[in-house]
Homo-oligomer: A and B are copies of this chain.
Amino acid sequence: MSTAQMITSSPQSDAALSGPLSEAIDQLLACAASCAICAEACLHEDDPRSQVDCISSNSDCADVCMATARVLGRASAGLSAMARLQVEACIEACRTCGDECDRHASHMEHCAICRDACRECERLCQALLSS
């Protein structure tokens, strides 16, 4: 809610974009938090070796989601070509991490929650590009 208010109170704000934009920013940050915590949780599982790919894709996804949220925080007037490319890279990061977390979701709750956060983030980034 606060992000939506912030976006609409910006001097340049494009009214049609503000909903999809603020939803994407909020989920990018929620997804970044999930991925960062999932990386640390995976690392402390009994067999971290089985989680190596998950930790790397979690870390990539956290970094890319945070940067994308920052770029989108400057996009209230519209998405630049660069912002669109950044969102596309982020969609791929969320897809990769969501797929990797899904492999462990049946026996690790943190991977199940993180997979869902990645899927939702991918969906809202796609919705933003289509808006």
- CB under 8 Å from chain B, chain A span 52-80: 52, 55-56, 59-60, 62-64, 66-67, 69-71, 73-74, 76, 80
Given contacts A40-B76, A56-B40, A64-B82, contact A30 B5 (CB under 8 A): no
Give how many A residues have a beta carbon under 8 Å from the other chain's beta carbons: 63
Measured in the bound complex, the distance between the Cα atoms of B89 and A85 in whole Å is 5
Interchain CB contact under 8 A, B56 and A74: yes
Given contacts A10-B37, A113-B5, A114-B6, contact A82 B69 (CB under 8 A): no
Collect the chain B residues with CB atoms within 8 Å of residue A56's CB: 40, 43, 74
Interchain CB contact under 8 A, B60 and A71: yes
